[in-house]
Structure 1
Amino acid sequence: MTGSLSKSIVIWTFVIASLVMLSAPTIVVLGASFTAGNMITFPPEGLSLKWYAAISQASGLRQAFFRSLYVATICTLIAIPVGTLAGIALAKYRVRFGHGIQIYLLLPFTIPLIGSGIGMMLAFGNAGLAGQLWPLGVACAVINLPFMIWAVTASASNLSPDLELAAANCGAPPLQRFLYITLPAVMPGIITGSLLMFILALNEFLVSLLLVDARNVTLPVQIYNSIRSIITPDLAAISVVFIACAAIAIAVLDRLVGLDVFLKSK
């Protein structure tokens, strides 16, 4: 009994410590965004919504936020067809050099992000596309595409080949089998991967810093440029907006496919 109690105490101590460490930065930023003072402080100096009103009227922050949404949308639109087809192919078919392809998909995680960013900066610069926003969406899709492929592959691996075989015996052509059997079966993976790609692209900083110019900055770069001079509570408020976007995406994910499916896909 004593040993079991000690084990429970140790486990719950680690759990509580982990929760505190993970939630503390969010709580500090959330509290600082509601301060009535003119500097970031925690606990806040009174409570006020003036900094949220300030960011709603700040055209620079608002435009940077919409640019980030544009980049995240481009990234997601590219990742959905490419990642879906690649994930299904790797899960269902014996692709030649399939093992090598899966190792290749790990490259974005083994190569430092600064290296990938510099390479893409040179590639887009030579093509005359440096400074534009849509190449940044392409770059985010390339870097984060393994997440999309893995999510779809996890769903496709659970698809019974007997379903497609039965449909083929009933005379269904390949396209019809794909649309009515394969695609619905992998839809949880597609939704999971799409939301993940959107969030990652929305928060991408380093590659954005290398690929955009001063006239076309995304919100993470805009925040970085602002904190180089002074950190004001409006930056905490816009950070809370980012956190809210991620929370909404997680809520949508849980509503559509369930967080248990998402965690299993990892």
Structure 2
Amino acid sequence: MNGSRSKSVVLWTLVTIALVTLSAPTIVVLGASFTGGNIITFPPDGLSLRWYARISQASDLRNAFLRTLHVATVCTIVAIPVGTLAGIALAKYAVRFEKTIQIYLLLPFTIPLIGSGIGLMLIFGNAGILGQLWPVGIACCVINLPFMIWAVTASATGLDPDLELAAANCGAPPLQVFFSVTLPAVMPGVITGSLLMFILALNEFLVSLLLVDARIVTLPVLIYNSIRSIITPDLAAISVVFIACSAVAIFLLDRLVGLDIFLKSK
């Protein structure tokens, strides 16, 4: 009994330390965003919503946030059909160059983002499309697409092939089988991957820094440019807005498909 209690104490101590370590930055930023002073500090110097009112009235921040939403939307729209078809193909069929594709899926963990960003900058520059927002969304999709593919593959592996065969035997053409049987079966993975792609594109900084200019700066890049001179509480308020967007996406993920689907896709 004593040994079991000791293990429980050690386990919960480690869990508590991990939770505190992970949540501390968020708590500090959240508290600093409500400070009543003129400098960022924690604990906050009084409580005030002045910095949230300030960012809501700042046209440059609002426009940068809208541009970031534009980038995230383009990234998600492109990732849905590409990632869905690729994930289903890898899960259901013997694909040529499958090992090469599997290596590609590891690129986000093996190639530094600075290298990918410079390569994409050169490609878009030669194509003459730098200075626009949609290439930034494409770049975010290229870099983060493996996460979409993993999510769809996790759902596709659980698809019973007999369901597709039954639909085909009933006279349904291949396209109808796909939209009536295959796609609904992998929809939890599609939703999971889509939300994940949106969140990743929303917070993408390094690649955006290389692909945008002063006319189309996104919000993460604008924050970076601001903290190079001085860190003010309005930046903490912007960070809280980003955290809230991610929290809403996670809530929707849990309500729509459940977090277990997301965890299986990792």
Give the distance between the partners of 1:99 and 1:40, measured in 2 at CA: 50
Query: How many Å apart are 1:102 and its aligned residue?
Result: 1.3
Matched, 1:208 2:216: no
Contact residue 108 and residue 116 of structure 1 kept, 8 A = no
Query: How many Å apart are 1:126 and its aligned residue?
Result: 1.1
Match of 2:72 in 1: 72
Match of 1:97 in 2: 97
Match of 2:196 in 1: 196
Give the distance between the partners of 1:146 and 1:9, measured in 2 at CA: 39
Residues 33-59 of structure 1, C-alpha deviations (whole Å, 9 max, x = no match): 000000001110111000000000001
Give the distance between the partners of 1:40 and 1:62, measured in 2 at CA: 21
Residues 66-116 of structure 1, C-alpha deviations (whole Å, 9 max, x = no match): 000000000000000000000001111111121221122212321110000
Give the structure-2-normalised TM-score.
Answer: 0.99
Q: Give the match's secondary structure for 1:102.
A: helix
Give the distance between the partners of 2:169 and 2:184, measured in 1 at CA: 20
Q: What amino acid is aligned across from residue 124 of structure 1 in structure 2?
A: F
Residues 3-24 of structure 1, C-alpha deviations (whole Å, 9 max, x = no match): 1111111100100000000000
Match of 1:40 in 2: 40
Q: What amino acid is aligned across from residue 176 of structure 1 in structure 2?
A: Q
Give the distance between the partners of 2:107 and 2:248, measured in 1 at CA: 30
Q: What amino acid is aligned across from residue 164 of structure 2 in structure 1?
A: E
- How is 1:159-170 mapped onto 2 (pairs within 5 angstroms)? 159-170=159-170
Match of 2:115 in 1: 115
Q: What amino acid is aligned across from residue 75 of structure 1 in structure 2?
A: C
Q: Give the match's secondary structure for 1:9.
A: helix
Contact residue 87 and residue 153 of structure 1 kept, 8 A = yes
Give the distance between the partners of 2:147 and 2:118, measured in 1 at CA: 22
Ranges in structure 1 where 5+ consecutive residues have no aligned partner: none
Give the structure-1-normalised TM-score.
Answer: 0.99
Give the distance between the partners of 2:242 and 2:25, measured in 1 at CA: 14
Q: What amino acid is aligned across from residue 113 of structure 1 in structure 2?
A: L
CA RMSD of aligned residues (A): 0.7
Match of 1:229 in 2: 229
Matched, 1:124 2:116: no
Give the distance between the partners of 2:75 and 2:263, measured in 1 at CA: 22
Give the distance between the partners of 2:41 and 2:122, measured in 1 at CA: 41
Matched, 1:28 2:28: yes
Match of 2:49 in 1: 49
